[in-house]
Amino acid sequence: MGVAIDSLRDFEIIYEPYTGDLDLDKIASNFTINAPAAIIIAMYAALAEQRGIPLHKLRGTPQNDILKEYIGRGTYIFPPGPSLRLFRDTLVFCTEKMPKFNITSIGGYHMREAGATRTQDLAFSMLIGAAYLQAGVDAELDIDVFAPRFTFNAFGGSMEFYKEIAFQRAARRMWARMLKERFGVKNPKAMMIRQISTAHIGCSSTQLQRPLNNLVRSVVGAMAAGMSGGLPGVYPPFDEPLGLGHSLEAQQLVYDGTRVLIYEAKLGETIDPWAGSFFMESMTDEIESKARAEFDKIEQMGGVVAAIENGYMQKAVAKSAYEKQKKIENKEEFVVGVNCFTGPDEIDVQVNRSVEEVYSPELMASAEQRQKDNLQRLKDERDNSLVAQNLKKLKQNAADESINLMPDILSCVKSYATLQEICDVLRNVFGEAKPALI
């Protein structure tokens, strides 16, 4: 998942090489972080201030998509209401202080990987986006200013080639329509879905059995991407299901597969090659219509926060995951090499898999203890009275929902309060989220 970030000291260490032409005002940093995203953003701002870099020059993207965590991934801390309050606080802070910094990277992908259907993926993503946009509107920000800083890291994917192309077309249309008609946006850039990838197969489409077949699957996804307005990236690598860390051979095939599609197949010469096709246009309409019906159903429940709190969305995804697996086991859906074409004459094709050694085994073995030692040293050396003072103020202001907590979190971070200490204070005020009973 990344690297241990316990305090601002860890940020200082990580960014030691990033100076001169690679200083913070000349690069973009991306953070896969959700529940404590406000703290990580504050650390980046604090590091910039240390270096005398104006915050308005910072560029980057935090995932900062906490609502999907309750539905698809589970790395949440606080209940949905307080978590949305923290999102609002980061939204206001970034819009006012860091206008080049993206605010969120919404991830329907995680929900689809957890088992959501295509309809649920699109509807839930739109509902989450609407909740984030509304948080900015309620904070009296100009939506034409902040909406262009929303991104999507990805929607989900599958092996159903035509439907994934139609899904991407429906998503763009549904987002643009919602921004224009519901929120009254006038800036065309605010109506765009900004994502680095479009259609793909999703890592859950890769299989442990006969894994080299996953290369074929990824090429199918890449072709769908190239026909839905995106880069035809051959992803994921074929050895995705074999464990963390892709082999050098798998990475090379990803690069070359993408290059072949771009330079030899000329995929991507036109953005929407299916435009006007009765088949594709009707499928796009159908996907959007089904997603809109699910969207409206949840809106009638009180919106995405209410549907998370009552467990509706979590139960819906769990049910869909069960039904999908049941279809595979009953051979209602076929997966080559898994539930069909598995006879004795089939060959499991193997290739070499080599992994570049980045850290020595000795360093890996001692990493946890060294991190603990460094953390204890930090706590011994910092001004603990200042830390306690800042944490106390954070606790007081956290009890008042009208107060933006980013200035208090920034003060805590600058005094080297740890991420856990800050989260523990907020836990005492907000409470902890409990998993939905499914």
Rg of the chain in Å (alpha carbons): 23
What average pLDDT does the segment 203-225 reach? 97
User: In whole numbers, what is the pLDDT of the chain averaged over residues?
Assistant: 96
- Residues 336-367: tens digit of each pLDDT: 999 999 999 999 999 889 988 778 889 989 99
pLDDT at 360: 86
Task: Render pLDDT for 70-122 as a digit per residue (tens, 0 to 9).
Answer: 999 899 999 999 999 999 999 999 999 999 999 999 989 999 999 999 999 99
Q: What is the pTM of this model?
A: 0.96
Give CA torsion, residues 61, 63, 67, 68, to 10 deg: 130
Which DSSP string corresponds to 330-383? Answer: TTSS--BTTTBS-STT-------------S-HHHHHHHHHHHHHHHHHHHHHS-
Q: Which residues pair with 161 in a beta bridge?
A: none
CB of 204 within 8 A of CB of 113? yes
274-329 per-position pLDDT tens digit:
999 999 999 999 999 999 999 999 999 999 999 999 999 999 999 999 999 999 99
Contact, 12 vs 64, CB < 8 A? no
The band of 390, judged by pLDDT with boundaries at 50, 70 and 90, is very high
Task: Check whether 1 has a pLDDT greater than 70.
Answer: no
Query: Is the bond preceding residue 36 a cis peptide, omega within 30 degrees?
Result: no
Q: What is the pLDDT of residues 118-141, one digit of tens each?
A: 999 999 999 999 999 999 999 999
* pLDDT at res. 245: 74
Is the CA virtual torsion 219, 254, 1, 56 positive or negative? negative
pLDDT at 122: 98
- Checking if the pLDDT of 158 tops 80, the result is yes
CA distance 67 to 131: 9
**When comparing pLDDT for 243 and 114, which is higher?**
114
Q: Which amino acid is at 67?
A: L
% the chain with pLDDT above 90: 93
* Contact status, residue 41 vs residue 405, Cβ threshold 8 Å: no
